[in-house]
Amino acid sequence: MSEPMIDKDRPILETRSLGKRFSIGTRFSAEGRRTVHAVDNVSLTVWRGETVGLVGESGCGKSTLARCLVRLYDITDGKLLFEGDDITTKSLSELRPLRRRLQMVFQDPSASLNPRRRVGDLVAEPLRIHGKLSSREITQRVAELFDLVGLQPDHVMRYPHEFSGGQRQRVGIARAIALNPDLVVLDEPVSALDVSVQAQIVNLLADLQEKLKLTYIFIAHDLSVVRQVSTRIAVMYLGSIVEEGPAEELFATPAHPYSQALISAVPVVETTPSGTRKRIILTGDVPSPLKPPPGCRFHPRCPIAVERCRTERPVLDERKPGRKVACHFPTLS
Amino acid sequence: MILSVRDLKVSFRTHDGMVRAIDGVSFDLGESEILGVVGESGSGKTVSLLAVMGLITDPNAVIEGSIRYKGRELVGLPARELRRLRGNEIAMIFQDPMTALTPVYTIGWQIAEQIRAHRNVSKAKAMERVEELLAEVNFPNPHEAMSRYPHQLSGGMRQRAVIAMALSCNPALLVADEPTTALDVTVQAGILDLVRKLRATHKSAVVFITHDMGVVSELADRVMVMYAGRVVERGSRMELFSDPRHPYTRALLGSIPPLTGDKPRRLLAIPGSPPSLLRLPQGCAFGPRCPAQYEPCATGKPDLRGGTHAAACYRVAQA
């Protein structure tokens, strides 16, 4: 992947201590009404032209954060800024012009495409809603988009079920880029695809980013895919970012014990007779976000936790240029 | 030899004609050996193992060939006989542990039931054994876990419970179909570790089905790569990963982004998508997507050629 042009003077999206709380249960349920902190105190800056990868185990809040970033969820705490403009509490009608510039691609393309409509129609839909194009211009733009994402021009008349998973995801991407957005949030866009098709989509996303000067926020549970796509990575655990840094650097020298365990757990193809990689196997499960442990939230599973970790919650601090870690004892080389 | 499969063919009668899901699969499995079966969706990796387990009950299915378990022919064996083997000598783990567990009984009850179905032991004895098994699959508090219902456990713990159930009768053969696909990598690492440990303690032979080359490389002794119902390459782990021969295996390995070192500018994607079994191309099924395709590939279906490390490709045979 060629180095995209990253403009470090103009953050496109910024969160300040962003949080999302859900209340669950009713006052009649056994435990009464309770609050889940799905996203807790996330401050993240996304620069124009870069790809920020979000990684973490299921339930760590990465998808919730993604949905907050495009205001699919209402934000309960903190602030969300788009190009310096506070959009935390903007009403739906105020958000409308922004929606064009802020798009999202979902994991399961068969669930996000209406099965009863032709794909050409599905791709034209955002153009009709937002654009001021004539129907001839729309047809032209759809053909252009199909070409851009690698679909045949005669595919416009087909229905979603006539496509393979990879092609369906291409339709989902065409829909997302139809209005020339600035930022695209991709929530597990390749997870449902076969390995051989995954690589096609990863390449397509890289090509589109270069051609259309897009900024991506990329979520996937496959760490090697995230590393490939991202320029910067944020590792999440129980709703908060525990480490942030440039993709290759973070994978080569993870500083937070959780990042270390996560990366070491990825099975890789090895051609040496015996595995040379050291694996850190975490004990126990991710604690319930209903009852997060006190102090550092990772301490019950952390191999190097001490008394201080049990009481004092570490803050996400810049320990080295570009490297932020939320740990009392980070491994910094 | 625990398992010996010869020229296995599985076809299904459909509205659009016969679909051959498995087309001539042969393999052997020795005691306490781990065989990794890799392939994309629709490659036939699951169907071939369902056939081995005698779990293809669709009246429209036609199974041909030979499946020998410890020398005994399984194809055509009455359901009663098969049931005696399944769960006792041959056990299976599936991708989604929730479908293998009933939500209305406790974990302990379910595992004990399995033991009592195959062994003549008292309920109390069976429960004792359950506690041992749960400890073996690393439940932190096995006694307490016995009284838990599946919904009270995390995905990783449920999969451990299913593994405990599979091991309850000391099976000689364990078939695992994508058992870690639904799990997080951190949990997966624990389960893979467990499978490795159990192979050592129980001497079970394991067939591990997955689409993840990394998982196979960490676990398997021997590997079989499948594409469109046929085995395209097989060999030991070392042979296959240090010297992949079939263009499909090579392409599959090339399409995985690396976890360390330099990032490639682009991934080596395979063009197109896996073929539909209803409309398989003439000749080699991988032909239309293959970078090394030439004339013979369009007409003939290449057979597996070679010794322990074999590939089904005319190019490889020619070289």
Alpha-carbon gap, residue B117 to B84, rounded angstroms: 9
DSSP state of B228: T
- Domain boundary residue among A118, A145, A180? A180
Per-residue pLDDT tens digits for B104-158? 999 999 999 989 988 889 999 999 999 988 988 888 888 888 999 998 888 888 8
Question: Do A26 and A90 reside in the same domain of the chain?
Answer: yes
In chain B, the percentage of residues whose pLDDT exceeds 90 is 34
Domain shared by A22 and A56, yes or no = yes
Do A197 and A117 lie in a common domain? Answer: no
- Cβ atoms of B221 and B33 within 8 Å: the answer is yes
Alpha helices in chain B (DSSP H): 45-53, 79-85, 97-100, 107-118, 123-136, 142-145, 155-167, 185-202, 213-219, 237-242, 247-254, 295-299, 314-318
Pair (A299, A316) in one structural domain: yes
* Final residue in a domain of this structure, among A156, A180, A204: A180
Structure tokens at A193: 């695809």
- Classify residue A333: in a domain, yes or no: no
Section A280-302 average pLDDT:
85
Residues A279 and A312 in one domain: yes
CATH class of B3-89+169-258+267-318: alpha beta
Quote the domain boundaries for residue A287.
Answer: 7-101+181-325
8 A C-beta contact, residue A130 and residue A100? yes
What are the boundaries of each domain within chain B? Answer: 3-89+169-258+267-318
CB within 8 Å of chain B, chain A residues 44-73: 57-58
A109 forms beta bridges with: none
A214 and A187, same structural domain? Answer: yes
The distance between the two most distant Cα atoms of chain B, rounded to a whole number of Å, is 67
Q: Residue B305 has what DSSP assignment?
A: B
**Residue A315, domain member (yes or no):** yes
| B267/A199 Cβ within 8 A | yes
Q: Structurally, how many domains does chain A consist of?
A: 2
Chain B, nearest residue to A164 by Cα = B273
A140 and A89 belong to one structural domain: no
Nearest CA-CA distance, residue A282 and chain B, Å: 7
Q: Can you tell me the ipTM of this complex?
A: 0.82
- Which CATH number characterizes residue A21's domain? 3.40.50.300
A47 and A121 both lie in a single domain:
no
Under the banding of pLDDT at 50, 70 and 90, the label for residue A332 is confident
CB atoms B215 and A2 under 8 Å: no
pLDDT tens, A165-182?
A: 888 899 999 999 998 899
For chain B, say whether A165 makes contact (Cβ under 8 Å): yes
> What part of B 255-284 touches A (C-beta under 8 Å)?
255-260, 263-271, 273-274
User: A193 and A60 in one domain?
Assistant: yes
Q: Is residue A115 part of a domain?
A: yes
Distance CA B105, CA B113 (A): 10
Strand order in the sheet with A85-86: A34-48, A7-24, A77-82, A85-86
Q: Are residues A199 and A73 in the same domain?
A: yes
- Give A88 to chain B, closest Cα distance, Å: 32
* Spatial contact of A124 and A171, defined as CB atoms under 8 Å apart: no
Instruction: Please check whether residues A149 and A256 belong to one and the same domain.
Output: no
Give the pair of three-digit tokens for residue B163: 């593994």
Q: Is A267 near chain B, with CB under 8 Å? A: yes
Domain boundary among A180, A197, A218: A180
Are A81 and A200 members of one domain? yes
Domain-located, residue A173: yes
Q: Quick check: is A154 in a domain?
A: yes
The CA distance from B260 to the nearest CA of chain A, in Å, is: 7
C-beta atoms of B255 and A251 within 8 A? no
Give dist(CA A166, CA A256) in Å, integer: 35
* Cα–Cα distance measured from residue B266 to residue A157, given in angstroms and rounded to the nearest whole number: 31
Terminal CA-CA length for chain B: 32
Distance between alpha carbon B298 and the CA centroid of its chain, in Å?
A: 30
Residue A244: pLDDT above 70?
Answer: yes
User: pTM score, two decimals?
Assistant: 0.87
pLDDT at position A208 is: 92
Q: Which of A60, A149, A168, A195 to mutate to test the interface with B (most CBs of B within 10 A)?
A: A195
B309 Cβ contact list (under 8 Å, min separation 6): B234, B235, B236, B239, B240, B243, B245
End-to-end Cα, chain A, rounded Å: 27
pLDDT in tens, A198-242: 898 999 999 999 999 999 999 988 899 999 999 999 999 999 999
